[in-house]
Amino acid sequence: MNFLGMDVGDLDLARFFQAGRAVYLFLYLLWVALVWNNERRLSLWGPVALGLLIWFVTSFPLQRNYGLAMGTDRLRNLWWCATTAAGQPPWESGVVGRLSLEPAWSLLVSVLALRDPALVSVLYPFPRSRFSLSE
């Protein structure tokens, strides 16, 4: 299961990455042509879309939650955000005597999660069925 909950065990990685490169090249050339024709409003959105495409192509085939093992930075960041979403100040880390190293990020994610700790896990790219804050 990947981050969308889809089974990717039978995915042909060579063809998937070839298709990803072809789509990337097409979108890049389209963006260059549009910018060349003075479509200035697309000058910023092209690189953003290409960056999101790269993230999707490299993350889609992953079959587990990389970086979410105990003691990793990603898990620690997740509990900082969930602690802030639960109503604690953003500098609180959820561990007695320890402060969050990224209070602005914790505050941003908690606001995007509508101050609901269970919604914090939705903002991270892994299935809720495997890791949920409400369990």
Q: Tens of pLDDT along 6-33?
A: 888 898 999 999 999 999 999 999 988 8
**Helix 103-112 and helix 73-85: axis angle, to 10°?**
60
18 occurs within a structural domain = yes
How far apart are the C-alpha atoms of 42 and 124, rounded to whole Å? 28
Host domain of residue 30:
13-59
Structure tokens at 78: 């997740």
How far apart are the C-alpha atoms of 38 and 4, rounded to whole Å? 37
Q: What total number of domains does the chain contain?
A: 2
79 occurs within a structural domain = yes
Answer whether 116's CB lies under 8 Å from 85's CB.
Answer: yes
Residues 118 and 81 in one domain: yes
82 occurs within a structural domain = yes
Tell me the residue type at 40: R
Residues 83 and 107 in one domain: yes
pTM of the shown model: 0.53
Residues of the chain with pLDDT under 70: 64-72, 124-135
The chain-wide mean pLDDT, for the chain, equals 81
128 occurs within a structural domain = no
